[in-house]
A and B are shown apart, each in its own frame.
Chain A
């Protein structure tokens, strides 16, 4: 064994038990049945336990068990970062940490081929398991949603349950195991310390802010025809801005700008920067290094001339269909219909190719606007999330209008779920006419009062405790005051 195993590492690893209840996007008034999951965590400074966000998202009960101990201790979530998949736990009883020191973290990235041990509690047994491999590659890549970060690939086996456990080189932690590539051999992924430190620094002052990112659409400068077209010669290198994220005049990036440098680092024609030590990564990686007061200095080539700009970068990537990331979906029930605010999770759950080709065929905004920003503050797409509840009212209408996006009610364009609930409740018209976005979808007309009056009976018949999610119910209550 090239790397003698120090007892200390084992002492800092804990097994995590959690009970999760994931959202059911097609029945937003309830949660999925509870499930038990287990994973791994590591003790860090400040009597804290670091693990993956996906270990604690949607959990209602978390327990940790130290290595070698026979006792489970209750833990609570201090902070969670779903994008970069990190979470911090605290344990009520500080004596838990007696004899269990924090695991030191290496101050720099490992090199390719460095020997790595992965500690954790994967499937295949109950005790602590240790696997060994080397660092295979290091890249800057997308984690969850729009969050990007540095990622280490190792060839040590990583299996379900390893999540949140430390990867160790020379008795120092180099990162946290969080994923592996399914269907491939020994392609395991580690969140490196750099991302962990950014997360810990961010929550030191405040609630977690997220990572600043760059959301413009880019295109490589590889095709030779692009050079004469952009009036640049062979020596110019960089990546083309194909679609700036913001179109306003004061946004410093324009279409056809070539980003040639970030800070002082040149960007190559595939948008990568070469940082030495075999570290060639997407230039977006340098955003987290070079950001200052929310801005990143870039050099762009515009109309053949270099221009220095300060690009605002933020952790907030406004999205019309935001991911749930630990929240439960908002909903509102009116008569036999269930409305919900569309999310990325809703579309992912629709997945099946039939559903997708149907949505494409009708030109649903769920497809055409999937990557969009909201067109105005507070915009949501409001979808029907479930088939009609059984009731005489919906006789003759399409039984399962699931995923239809509400365009208007009695001609009033619907802005978001709360707006819909308000319109439904404040209407004085005899009928409610629902129109849907896309071609070829039926229009539903209901007698307003009868529809409203049927709600209680339907909730009761279907064992539904509340007519809407807390956010919607609170807003309606405020509005009536």
Chain B
């Protein structure tokens, strides 16, 4: 009997909080909350309706090839991963984005079956970690009905069963626990969302499997806290409904969010500085997302209400005795047509404002999401469009205690949270050490992470622009200058550099000189 390959990759990528403005508030579970009937889910015999849950759970096998940030012309070695999924309406399977992220081959197997069926990703949301799959053979769904979803968020202490295919065996596994807490938390790529914490055991391979209360799904297991006991995380039904509604348009837009940076209103000096009396509660905006004079929010505005809900001095809103969450949670419930109504107190006066909310924070270094990095090779140099992933890898690899001078003060650090300064702005960096060639003799062999400022004095706007400049130049030399303190300029003979490209591609087994986006743009605008 050949072993089915075990789950090798965890999705337990608890993203470090981006800019956690508000301190953690401890939250007491209200004493008047009625205790749920003990063991309700387990005392119920395994009747026909309970059996239906098993029928809707699938094991997912994926072969994925990660992006290789340093070698953007190739993908990382294929790896096998397994996880869980659940059948939902419309002949679809819901799972975590990280189970099928960068997957080139996906198969699903029902809990009681011996057949694997090929699947495709129909939609993926790497931020909130959800994905929807479709199957080549829809007759699969004749015998595997969708699992009903609970209409509301569970209460803390509700009994929960988690279904999935974790490590420790091959068959469907079921574990039991209760809802421990519910919070608004940071997911991936700066996306915030509601998150349910449970104490049922969650292990590698549980990712994407349903958490069930009274035979209804309350969410999808996606993560756990390492080095702790039984702190498992579930994406609740509300986030799933938002995602499904979003993709019903035919593509995924993302969750609306506000990007102001605010601070708690707890410090008494801050309160008297802003002339606030003790009855005033809210959070203080210290950095509006936009400093344009027409932008409705200003520095020192105190956000007191989102819609009709009061915000407290720690930036929390109380929705239920056991549900006190960050005010940013309300954006997804209150925003309408891209606008969010707020009440702010400015110079002592309350005023109603409406701010635009966007699904994605515009970033000059965007997240790769499900894409592979763009690149362009010219002579012995490989250039890449800088993503959040690339910048964080470069900054992270130098270590917090020893960030090198060339990165410090450079745009990879300075501009990590910035919007593009003009439409179409990219940062372009050297992604790999020089390919071995006599052209680079005498230069620092590995200017990796160096961000190109200009070529022959022409300021580089984005990767496509760089490729164009390199191909259009008629100068004898090409002079590359970099941002930051400590990166030497590089000068190459233009024609020799250009002519060496084919030989270098061949010598290094590289199939294409650039990623499809860059090559198409160049072909559209042939060099003259």
Contacts and interface: CB of A to CB of B under 8 A. Distances in A.
Interface stretch (A5-13, A34-42, A264-272, A323-331): A264-272
B112 A271 contact: no
A155 B176 contact: yes
B116 interface: yes
A391 interface: no
Given A2-B39, A218-B1, A269-B115, A280 B171 contact: yes
B229 A185 contact: yes
A153 interface: yes
Contact of A268 (B4, B114, B167, B171): B114
A138 B111 CA distance: 13
A113 B176 contact: yes
B495 interface: no
B43 A2 contact: yes
Interface in B45-96: 46, 50-51, 54
Given A113-B46, A187-B166, A136 B39 contact: no
Given A186-B201, A278-B54, A136 B114 contact: no
Contact of B2 (A111, A141, A219): A219
A134 B176 contact: yes
Interface in A431-458: none
A237 B202 CA distance: 34
A137 B167 contact: no
Given A2-B39, A2-B42, A112-B46, A134 B1 contact: no
A2 B42 CA distance: 9
B234 to A, nearest CB: 15
B114 A186 contact: no
Interface residues of A, number: 41
Which residue among A187, A218, A274 has the maximum number of chain B CB atoms within 10 Å of its CB? A187
Given A141-B169, A185-B230, A268-B114, A134 B174 contact: yes
A220 B170 CA distance: 15
Nearest to A181: B168
B224 interface: yes
Interface in A74-126: 111-115
B137 to A, nearest CB: 12
Given A153-B168, A153-B169, A222-B116, A134 B2 contact: no
Contacts of A115: 39, 42-43
Contact of A113 (B42, B114, B203, B204): B42
A12 to B, nearest CB: 24
Nearest to A276: B112
B158 to A, nearest CB: 16
Contacts of B161: 113, 134
Given A113-B176, A155-B200, A218-B2, A138 B168 contact: no
Interface string B304-328: 0000000000000000000000000
Interface in A267-321: 268-272, 274, 277-278, 280-282, 284
A184 interface: yes
A133 interface: yes
B527 interface: no
Contacts of B174: 112-113, 134-137
A225 interface: no
A281 B170 CA distance: 9
Given A112-B46, A113-B176, A237-B114, A185 B171 contact: no
Contact of B112 (A141, A222, A278, A282): A278
Contacts of B232: 185
Nearest to B224: A185
A372 interface: no
A134 B175 contact: yes
Contacts of A268: 113-115
B173 interface: yes
A259 B465 CA distance: 63
B42 A134 contact: yes
Interface in B260-288: none
Contacts of B43: 2, 115
A284 B2 CA distance: 12
A218 B2 CA distance: 7
A1 interface: yes
A151 B339 CA distance: 56
A171 to B, nearest CB: 16
Interface string B110-125: 0111111000000000
B421 interface: no
A270 B61 CA distance: 15
A400 interface: no
A177 to B, nearest CB: 14
B224 A282 contact: no
B175 A136 contact: yes
A240 to B, nearest CB: 10
A139 interface: yes
Contacts of B229: 185
Given A113-B42, A136-B175, A186-B230, A269 B202 contact: no
Contacts of B38: 1-2
A136 B173 contact: yes
B178 interface: no
A153 B201 CA distance: 12
Contacts of A218: 1-2
Contacts of B169: 137, 139, 141, 151, 153
Contacts of B41: 113
Contacts of B39: 1-2, 115
A268 B54 CA distance: 19
Interface string A134-152: 1111110100000000010
Contacts of B173: 136-137, 153
A280 B112 contact: yes
Given A155-B175, A282-B1, A284-B1, A185 B115 contact: no
A141 to B, nearest CB: 7
B116 to A, nearest CB: 6
B171 A139 contact: yes
Contacts of B204: 184
A185 B54 contact: no
A133 B176 contact: yes
Interface string B195-212: 000001111100000000
Interface string A185-222: 11100000000000000000000000000000011101
Which residue among B2, B51, B116 has the maximum number of chain A CB atoms within 10 Å of its CB? B2
Nearest to B112: A280
A379 B204 CA distance: 43
Given A218-B2, A269-B114, A187 B171 contact: no
A112 B230 CA distance: 20
Contacts of B230: 185-186
Contact of A155 (B51, B171, B201): B201
A239 B166 CA distance: 25
B244 interface: no
Given A112-B174, A115-B39, A218-B1, A270 B114 contact: yes
A405 to B, nearest CB: 29
A187 B114 contact: no
B203 A274 contact: no
B175 A111 contact: no
B172 interface: yes
Interface in B213-263: 224, 229-230, 232
29 contacts: A112-B54, A113-B50, A113-B174, A114-B42, A115-B39, A133-B175, A133-B176, A135-B174, A136-B201, A137-B171, A141-B169, A155-B175, A184-B166, A184-B203, A184-B204, A185-B203, A186-B175, A187-B167, A187-B201, A218-B1, A271-B1, A272-B114, A277-B46, A278-B51, A278-B111, A278-B112, A280-B112, A282-B1, A284-B1
Given A1-B39, A136-B173, A184-B201, 12 more contacts: A112-B174, A113-B176, A134-B161, A134-B176, A136-B201, A137-B173, A138-B171, A151-B169, A181-B167, A184-B167, A187-B203, A281-B171
Q: Which 10 pairs, one residue from A and one from B, show the smallest C-beta to C-beta distance?
A: A268-B114, A186-B201, A187-B168, A185-B201, A155-B175, A2-B39, A137-B173, A136-B173, A270-B114, A181-B168
